[in-house]
Amino acid sequence: MFSKACEYALRAVIFIYIKGVNGARLSIPEIAKEIDAPLAYTGKILQTLTREGVIASVKGPNGGFFVDPQAKAVTLADVVKAMYGNDDVLHTCVLGLKECSDKFPCPIHAQVKGYRDHVRKVMENTTIRSLVNDLSKGRTFLKNVRQRKSFRK
């Protein structure tokens, strides 16, 4: 659905909101490790997110990435837009038709339209902040837990 870069971006921003809400600053290595993404590539992505105002950063010792306390609420769609430059990906037709719409539907428009609209609304209406609670309580997860072969008791 989304590019790797966008997936990493979403995971990174969510992570920063968990650990960085109190103003704490997160380094590239910390973030890359937590979201299970390549280190240098994660740096590139964080750079883009900062430039686009999704997160904030400071250089130097004790620097890193954090949540700008006076920025307005960031949604999942905001992250997507920051990474692609637009939110076309939330609107595109499954068959790739540029003009697919209710009035000019592709053969499976009726069947999937509801889904696409729903996902778009979820992305537009879900703030990153709203995801933090479940995550920090361990009800949702940001990366795959390695399955252990067995436990010694």
Q: Which is nearer to a second copy, 58 or 92 (CB)?
A: 92
- In the list DNA, a second copy, none, the entry touching 41 (Cβ below 5 to 8 angstroms by class) is DNA
Regarding 129 and contact with a second copy (CB under 8 A), the answer is no
Q: Which is nearer to DNA, 4 or 121 (CB)?
A: 4
Q: Which is nearer to a second copy, 47 or 133 (CB)?
A: 133
Asked if residues 55 and 68 have their Cβ atoms less than 8 Å apart, the reply is: yes
- In the list DNA, a second copy, none, the entry touching 59 (Cβ below 5 to 8 angstroms by class) is DNA
Regarding 74 and contact with a second copy (CB under 8 A), the answer is no
Q: Which is nearer to DNA, 14 or 139 (CB)?
A: 14
Closest CA to 77 of 124, 115, 12: 124
Regarding 15 and contact with DNA (CB under 7 A), the answer is no
Q: Which one of 10, 19, 64, 75 is in contact with DNA (CB under 7 A)? A: 64
